[in-house]
Amino acid sequence: MTTRQGLAILGATGSIGQSTLDVVSQHPDRFEVIVLTANSRLAELSRLCLRHRPRYAVVGSPEDALKLEKALRAAGLATEVLAGPEALAQVAALAEVDSVMAAIVGAAGLAPTLAAVRAGKRVLLANKEALVMAGALFMAEVRRGGATLLPVDSEHNAVFQSMPADYAGALADKGVRRILLTASGGPFRTMTLEQMAAVTPAQACAHPNWNMGRKISVDSATMMNKGLEVIEAHWLFNAPAEKIDVVIHPQSVIHSLVEYADGSVLAQLGNPDMRTPIAHALAYPERIEAGVTPLDMFTIGQLTFERPDNQRFPCLLLAYRALRAGGSAATLLNAANEVAVAAFLGGQLPFLRIADVIKAVLDRIPVAGLSDLDAVMTSDAEARTAAAACVAAWS
Ligand code: NAD
Ligand code: MG
């Protein structure tokens, strides 16, 4: 490669952002960090700017922008520091940016990710919530903008690697029978409902196999993460709900599988380390070193599989329900989940009530068609209000 790939890393201070910078650091000849963004952890962003010397940095507030700019100037850096959601959308579309790592958590990532898509960038998608809340519009913009969408979520990256080269269109035409998403089962896989009733945010965030941000850790504990991923797979691979199944695989070594008409099942395996899918998406279609420990089958010994338990983990079925309902249902599901998870993390809502909040929102708000982004944001806001009312009633 003669010219370096210009990168914008949205959500640089997060778990995915940091893993991305770790891979990037191993390949200074390939990648140039153009943009780093963060919402609040200013000291951490400042440290990352000193290390990677981006041309632009974006923070949440103008006050923080002034503070960061002062610190960077004092260190002799000319990085332009911007603030707020509009700046995020602006830097995602810069001419010198080739690829955008979309690693902001939650609905806040939608607008900047869409800006990258509209500008026809290579979009490395970690922010699954953006696709869940606005799937049809998002994919229409990908086609219109000529963007390349590369899945970073480990399951979708595994499916992408196991799919036929050109899977666009009907999966049946490519001989694909179904997609199997693997799930670790999370930290509460073997707990009874009675035990789950009393779990704390610290327990929910202590995932057995993956080290992740707090929101996705709780999503893994409720299994809503897998529900969001079923919807994500639907949009990424043009697969109907009945062709996407979930299998519990506690070792998190097989990251997902694709079953073909002839009986072949292709899977992607590796140690549970997000630097593998991140490196795959960064270098695609080439392969680069990621710094990941090679998989040792002899140490692993056994791989096991179970069916999901819908009684103890109702969130998975709620996600299938939203996917089948179409329209705004997944937008409502995602927004209600974000509110309920924040309330659980804030100590205002018991763990098992997270699913109750989401179900109540899906029951109460009729599904609407989503003609444009305004309609998405209206449904998102409506669901947040309804979910907050449930939290207030059940806290
Ligand atoms: P995290 O909480 O560790 O980091 C989130 C990042 O988003 C931070 O840099 C934060 O500053 C930024 N951010 C948060 N709110 C913001 C806002 N309102 N405006 C602008 N920036 C904001 O989260 P994470 O674990 O890195 O996850 C990021 C995304 O990647 C999520 O959508 C998650 O579902 C997805 N993902 C994560 C993993 C993982 O292993 N961590 C795996 C697969 C997918
Ligand atoms: Mg995943």
Determine which residue's CA is closest to atom 40 belonging to ligand 1: 212
3-state secondary structure of 146: coil
Per-residue model confidence (pLDDT) at position 210:
84
Assess whether the C-beta atom of 217 lies below 6 angstroms from ligand 1.
no
Closest ligand 1 atom to residue 215 Cα is 2
Taking the centre of ligand 1 as the mean of its atom positions, its distance from the CA of residue 109, in whole angstroms, is 9
Report residue 368 as tokens: 């609407």
The CATH class of the 326-395 domain is mainly alpha
d(CA 58, CA 387): 30
Alpha helices in the chain (DSSP H): 15-25, 42-52, 62-74, 85-92, 110-118, 128-145, 154-162, 193-196, 201-204, 214-222, 224-237, 275-283, 297-300, 315-325, 329-345, 353-364, 373-394
Assess whether the C-beta atom of 212 lies below 6 angstroms from ligand 1.
yes
Assess whether the C-beta atom of 112 lies below 6 angstroms from ligand 1.
no
Per-residue model confidence (pLDDT) at position 138:
98
Taking the centre of ligand 1 as the mean of its atom positions, its distance from the CA of residue 59, in whole angstroms, is 14
Determine which residue's CA is closest to atom 20 belonging to ligand 1: 39
Q: Using CB atoms within 10 A of its CB, is residue 388 exposed (0-12), middle (13-18) or buried (19+)?
A: middle
Closest ligand 1 atom to residue 225 Cα is 34
3-state secondary structure of 157: helix
Assess whether the C-beta atom of 274 lies below 6 angstroms from ligand 1.
yes
5-151 belongs to which homologous superfamily? NAD(P)-binding Rossmann-like Domain (3.40.50.720)
Delimiting residues of CATH 1.10.1740.10 domain(s) in the chain: 326-395
Per-residue model confidence (pLDDT) at position 172:
81
Assess whether the C-beta atom of 38 lies below 6 angstroms from ligand 1.
yes
Per-residue model confidence (pLDDT) at position 209:
87
Assess whether the C-beta atom of 124 lies below 6 angstroms from ligand 1.
no
Q: Which of 35, 88, 181, 212 to mutate to test ligand 1, by most ligand atoms within 8 A of the CB atom? A: 212
Closest ligand 1 atom to residue 228 Cα is 34
Closest ligand 1 atom to residue 211 Cα is 40
Determine which residue's CA is closest to atom 21 belonging to ligand 1: 39
d(CA 136, CA 132): 9
Delimiting residues of CATH 3.40.50.720 domain(s) in the chain: 5-151
Residue 171 · residue 270 · CB < 8 Å: no
∠295-298-304 over CA atoms, to 5°? Answer: 85
Q: Whole-model pTM above 0.95?
A: yes
Taking the centre of ligand 2 as the mean of its atom positions, its distance from the CA of residue 355, in whole angstroms, is 19
Per-residue model confidence (pLDDT) at position 2:
63
Taking the centre of ligand 2 as the mean of its atom positions, its distance from the CA of residue 233, in whole angstroms, is 11
Residue 247: strand pairing partners:
182
Taking the centre of ligand 2 as the mean of its atom positions, its distance from the CA of residue 315, in whole angstroms, is 15
Assess whether the C-beta atom of 11 lies below 6 angstroms from ligand 1.
yes
Tell me the pLDDT of the chain (395 aa) as tens digits: 469 999 999 999 999 999 999 999 999 999 999 999 999 999 999 999 999 999 999 999 999 999 999 999 999 999 999 999 999 999 999 999 999 999 999 999 999 999 999 999 999 999 999 999 999 999 999 999 999 999 999 999 999 999 998 887 778 888 999 999 999 999 999 999 999 999 999 999 998 888 899 999 999 999 999 999 999 999 999 999 999 999 999 999 999 999 999 999 999 999 999 999 999 999 999 999 999 999 999 999 999 999 999 999 999 999 999 999 999 999 999 999 999 999 999 999 999 999 999 999 999 999 999 999 999 999 999 999 999 999 999 98
Assess whether the C-beta atom of 39 lies below 6 angstroms from ligand 1.
yes
109 φ, ψ (degrees, to nearest 5): -85, -10
Assess whether the C-beta atom of 151 lies below 6 angstroms from ligand 1.
no
